[in-house]
Chain A
Amino acid sequence: MELKRTPIYAEHAAAKAKLIDFGGWEMPVQYAGVIEEHQTVRTKAGLFDVSHMGEIDVRGPQALELVNHWITNDVNRIADGQILYSPMCYPNGGIVDDLLVYRYSPEHIYLVVNASNTDKDFAWMQEQAQGFNAELHNVSPETAQLALQGPLAEKILQKLTNVDLSAIKYYWFRHGQIAGVECLISRTGYTGEDGFEFYFAPEKAAELWRKVLEAGKPEGIQPIGLGARDTLRFEARLPLYGNELGPEISPLEAGLGIFVKLNKPEFNGKEALAKQKEAGLSRKLVGLEMIERGIARSHYPIQKDGQDIGFVTSGSYSPTLNKNIALGLIQSDLAVLGEEMDIMIRNKPVKAKVIPTPFYKRAGV
């Protein structure tokens, strides 16, 4: 199958970024190097091409009710102009995807979903839209997206817009021009840093990419690949679909209970999740730090006294902590701070212990 490319592909290729197949998209995994890019986002600012992400527009008198039927969080809890993070579940409580919900009004909601899940999500939403007076459109092909993340993100982006960015609070959005391009601007991100994500028509994508990089030069901006995007989100314990989330994992097990509003009248998965909560969770997601030498990787088994107790969902060297850490889904009774267990690395037990998460939290939050 031919790989899909974002409208900024030519810029990545010209910059000699290392390109990989990411869920059917030919995307930059790194430019200068994962660790350097990671540190740039933690200390300065980095620009990400995330145009592969999916966007779905829902409109109609029952748009809010429909979205609330799909997701576990509650769109009634936010105001117009505000954003909500939510898992979306199957009736059995397994996760279809996790998404951002932009509330324009109760009649107009805009959803941002994972790139590789866009088609699956859209089909699921259509199937689950019967009887609601609302229409949904997959607007992903008409939408480009950039993310500018890091402590200097606001300073850099403010040079290119008349919109008062300091007035946009965390998880709020508004419309305005950036470098003359009409954008949806939101204060959101997937790195654990302050920053913005902006959505716009793909025709101007390459130009906007260049202009933001140019504007951020004095601040030391760098383009960032998916490699650092993963280590950044991982340190901040932001879940990744396919690792921490999936059809076999419930949002309660994944530690996303605060995004599951069981007091909502109705939503897909409500009964199953209520039952699971009442019975008590059999497994939980925990943070792990390697005690012995080794790097835990996704899907490595976790054992205690030779018995399987779970598996690693994400694992990596942490550039910020300079330690090897992991997230693992394990038996609840062993999900206790300080508990020691073995990560099976190439069939050899390597000691690790449970530590608090998130592994990284930015100052002042």
Chain B
Amino acid sequence: MNPKDLKYSKDHDWARVEGNVVTLGITDHAQESLGDVVFVEIPAVGATVTAGQSYGTVESVKAVSDIVAAVSGKVIAVNEAIIDAPDTLNQDPYGAGWLVRVEATDQSAMDAMMNAEEYDAYLAAEGDH
């Protein structure tokens, strides 16, 4: 269910690498846990993000969740459509629900991220608690 071509964090953020451009979003598990997403705050094009740090928030009716950058770099594109239709994050977290594209200056933090198989195992273990 979680796409094979993405990297995943323990905070349930995902990253897709295409050369030095990295697309960021939140996982299906994250949207499922949050419930109906009603607000998304993401930086503007040109802003810088830092690996391991919050670059915005996703809010559902009941909860506020920080979104954490997988890489450091400059934001080169943001998903404007999601600001007006935040429920897209619930419907298509890996497609139309992407959040920002970053021109990465440092991808080293991605080494610690999981592949799809590892993330599935991580979710299964988390569910056991």
Contacts and interface: CB of A to CB of B under 8 A. Distances in A.
Q: Is the interface of B mostly helix, strand, loop or mixed?
A: strand
Given A18-B35, A30-B35, A35 B61 contact: yes
Contacts of B36: 33-36
A317 B39 contact: yes
A227 B33 CA distance: 13
Nearest to A231: B61
A152 interface: no
Contact of A34 (B35, B41, B57): B35
Interface residues of A, number: 19
A341 to B, nearest CB: 20
Interface string B7-40: 0000000000000000000000000000110110
Contact of A227 (B57, B59, B61, B64): B61
Nearest to A227: B62
Interface residues of B, number: 12
A294 B39 contact: yes
Interface string B59-84: 11110100000000000000000010
Given A30-B35, A33-B36, A295 B59 contact: yes
A22 to B, nearest CB: 12
Given A18-B35, A30-B35, A293 B61 contact: no
Given A35-B61, A346-B57, A317 B35 contact: no
A34 B39 contact: no
A324 B62 contact: no
Secondary structure of the A contact surface, majority rule: mixed
Interface of A: 18, 29-30, 33-36, 227, 230-231, 293-295, 297, 316-317, 319, 324, 346
Nearest to A348: B41
Contacts, number: 37
B57 A33 contact: no
A34 B61 contact: yes
Given A295-B59, A316-B61, A33 B38 contact: no
A297 B39 contact: no
Contacts of B59: 295, 317
A109 to B, nearest CB: 35
A293 B84 CA distance: 11
Interface in B109-128: none
B61 A317 contact: yes
A36 B64 CA distance: 19
15 contacts: A30-B35, A34-B35, A34-B36, A35-B38, A36-B36, A227-B61, A227-B62, A293-B41, A294-B39, A295-B38, A295-B59, A316-B61, A317-B39, A317-B61, A319-B61
Nearest to B62: A227
Given A297-B64, A317-B61, 4 more contacts: A35-B38, A36-B36, A293-B41, A295-B39
Contacts of A231: 61
A322 to B, nearest CB: 9
Contacts of B62: 29, 34, 227, 230
Contacts of A35: 36, 38, 61
A104 to B, nearest CB: 38
Contacts of A317: 38-39, 59, 61
Nearest to A346: B57
B32 to A, nearest CB: 9
Given A227-B62, A231-B61, A317-B61, A33 B41 contact: no
A29 B36 CA distance: 12
Contacts of B83: 293
Contacts of B39: 293-295, 317, 324
